[in-house]
């Protein structure tokens, strides 16, 4: 096996779906150690996968004897999760690790139901944990290194419940040209749920920060796709000043229920307005640093963009990349669903959500004539800081025909969404171009 093939097999950003889409026969050679007959492929096709050995990290010597339809024990949990997510209506982009986005029309609720919340994993999900046994340790640049149980957090700190938006930094990556590496998210790696927990700052105040504390480092129990238990999948953090914001939480409930395993059970960070990667799942350690955290996915080009504009496809030195902090202003049309048909005399009811990182959206406008004119929508204030905002508009189309609905949000700094995909970056982050939906009047 070539080093290139081995790298593709073990790369945590790629799973079976991506491997087989590129070249099924070559993928079989990687998976099984040889080219397999066409009829041997597809034993996971019931939920969209073509084969499996690549995810096992080894060839299958007796693949020829595998019964049709068999899901290997090592992948049974992942296969079940893929099936569940697909059944809920999510689009599975990758299977190992599992990543899935939500079609825009399924995000119409002001509060996203748990089954419709996008899933972004960098590694393999850990086994389910007993809340009573879970421990969170805090060490580093603190006066009193401490370990908390979830019961300690509940009883020693004020409980907070807030509607908070999470968005993957790569949401919209599919719009970049040339294509950027990674899961090809379209518009659905965003959601707004009610999270219950304690304020991060209250916990930090309890352990006492040293004057040297400037950054947090988050650690969790997810597993590296290589199977190496000593490898850390992802360890990101935020500046202390962001951790001390009132809407940054250490959470243990999602929409009034214990957090589901796919979303970080039993404990996670929720950092609204910043890339979802800052909101570490399965949290079991916080390391307070005297420098910018340098854990996996904090350096190089991970969750970073060029510090100055660059041409599409340009090579950018790591020293010229900056860490993504607040996400840009953005909006989403959740109704009608693209492809909608109506009588031209009927009222067209348009709606969706808008958000703006650390800021507030002040207006959302809609165009039905390719940006020649704009109509201001009704915009609601968020229930709390860190939540998205609902907007809506009712109008009648002037005549039968094909129309595109364009949505444009503007924040309290006067910054509006661009019509086109914004400046290129190597990993396809921060695409906040206007969302477009097609409708036909008859």
Which pLDDT value is given to residue 131?
83
Spell out the residues 6+ positions from residue 252 whose beta carbon is closer than 8 angstroms to its own. 131, 150, 153, 154, 196, 197, 258, 259, 266, 267
- 111, part of any domain: no
Last residue of a domain, one of 98, 123, 153: 98
CATH code assigned at 281:
3.90.420.10
- 386, part of any domain: yes
**Does residue 220 share a domain with residue 90?**
no
Pair of tokens at residue 239: 């500046």
Q: Measured between alpha carbons, how far is 320 from 236 in angstroms, rounded to an integer?
A: 19
Identify the segments of the chain with pLDDT beneath 70: 1-79
Which pLDDT value is given to residue 66?
59
Question: Strands of 215-220's sheet, edge to edge?
Answer: 146-149, 135-140, 283-289, 215-220
| DSSP letter, residue 142 | B
Residue 29 burial (10 A CB sphere; 0-12, 13-18, 19+): middle
**Does residue 310 share a domain with residue 401?**
no
**Does residue 297 share a domain with residue 163?**
yes
CATH code assigned at 419:
2.60.40.650
Which pLDDT value is given to residue 80?
75
- 405, part of any domain: yes
Q: Which domain holds residue 197?
A: 135-323
**Does residue 351 share a domain with residue 230?**
no
91 within 8 A of 44, measured Cβ to Cβ = no
**Does residue 212 share a domain with residue 227?**
yes
Radius of gyration, CA atoms only, the chain: 23
Which pLDDT value is given to residue 337?
96
Pair of tokens at residue 259: 């957090």
- The length of the chain is 442
- 259, part of any domain: yes
**Does residue 63 share a domain with residue 14?**
yes
Count of structural domains, the chain: 3
**Does residue 94 share a domain with residue 197?**
no
Q: Measured between alpha carbons, how far is 56 from 52 in angstroms, rounded to an integer?
A: 7
Q: Measured between alpha carbons, how far is 125 from 262 in angstroms, rounded to an integer?
A: 7
- 286, part of any domain: yes
- 116, part of any domain: no
**Does residue 345 share a domain with residue 242?**
no
**Does residue 203 share a domain with residue 70?**
no
- 271, part of any domain: yes
**Does residue 148 share a domain with residue 285?**
yes
Which pLDDT value is given to residue 96?
78
**Does residue 285 share a domain with residue 186?**
yes
Can you give the pTM of this predicted structure? 0.86
Last residue of a domain, one of 323, 349, 373: 323
**Does residue 286 share a domain with residue 198?**
yes
- 114, part of any domain: no
Which pLDDT value is given to residue 62?
59
Q: Note the pLDDT tens digit of each residue in 139-166.
A: 999 999 999 999 999 999 999 999 999 9
Last residue of a domain, one of 280, 307, 323: 323
Which pLDDT value is given to residue 45?
39
């Amino acid at each position: 096996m070539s080093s290139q093939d081995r790298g593709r097999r073990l790369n945590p950003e790629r799973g079976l779906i991506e491997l087989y889409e590129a070249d099924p026969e070559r993928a079989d050679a990687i998976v099984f150690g040889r080219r397999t007959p066409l009829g041997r492929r597809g034993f996971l096709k019931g939920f969209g996968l073509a084969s499996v050995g690549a995810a096992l990290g080894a060839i299958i010597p007796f693949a020829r004897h595998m019964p049709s339809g068999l899901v290997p024990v090592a992948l049974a949990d992942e296969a079940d999760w893929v099936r569940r997510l697909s059944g809920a209506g999510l689009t599975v982009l990758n299977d190992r690790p599992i990543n899935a986005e939500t079609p825009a029309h399924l995000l119409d609720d002001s509060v996203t139901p748990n089954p419709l919340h996008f899933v972004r994993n960098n590694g393999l999900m850990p086994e389910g944990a007993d809340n009573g046994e879970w421990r969170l340790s805090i060490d580093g640049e603190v006066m009193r290194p401490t370990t908390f149980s979830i019961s300690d957090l509940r009883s020693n700190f004020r409980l907070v419940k807030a509607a908070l938006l999470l968005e993957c930094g790569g949401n919209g990556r599919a719009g970049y040209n040339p294509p950027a590496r990674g899961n090809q998210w379209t518009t659905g790696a965003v959601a707004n749920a009610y999270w219950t927990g304690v304020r991060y700052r209250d916990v930090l105040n309890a352990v006492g920060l040293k004057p040297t504390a400037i950054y947090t480092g988050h650690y969790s129990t997810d597993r590296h796709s290589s199977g190496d238990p000593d490898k850390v999948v992802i360890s990101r953090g935020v500046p202390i000043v962001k951790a001390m914001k009132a809407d940054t939480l250490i959470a243990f409930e999602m929409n009034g229920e214990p957090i589901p395993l796919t979303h970080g059970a039993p404990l996670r960070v929720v950092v609204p307005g910043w890339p979802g990667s800052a909101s570490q799942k399965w949290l079991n350690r916080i390391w307070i640093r005297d420098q910018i955290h340098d854990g996996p996915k904090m350096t190089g080009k991970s969750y970073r963009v060029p510090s100055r504009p660059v041409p599409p496809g340009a090579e950018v030195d790591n020293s010229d990349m900056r860490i993504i902090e607040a996400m840009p202003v953005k909006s989403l049309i959740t109704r009608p669903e693209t492809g909608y048909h109506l009588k031209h005399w009927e009222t067209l009811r348009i709606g969706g959500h808008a958000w703006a990182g650390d800021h507030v959206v002040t207006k959302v406008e809609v165009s039905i004539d390719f940006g020649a004119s704009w109509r201001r929508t009704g915009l609601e204030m968020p229930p709390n800081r860190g939540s998205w905002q609902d907007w809506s508009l009712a109008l009648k189309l002037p005549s039968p025909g094909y129309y595109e609905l364009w949505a444009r949000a503007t924040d309290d700094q006067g910054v509006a969404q661009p019509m086109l995909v914004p400046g290129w970056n190597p990993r396809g982050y921060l695409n906040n171009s206007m969302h477009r939906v097609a409708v036909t009047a008859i």
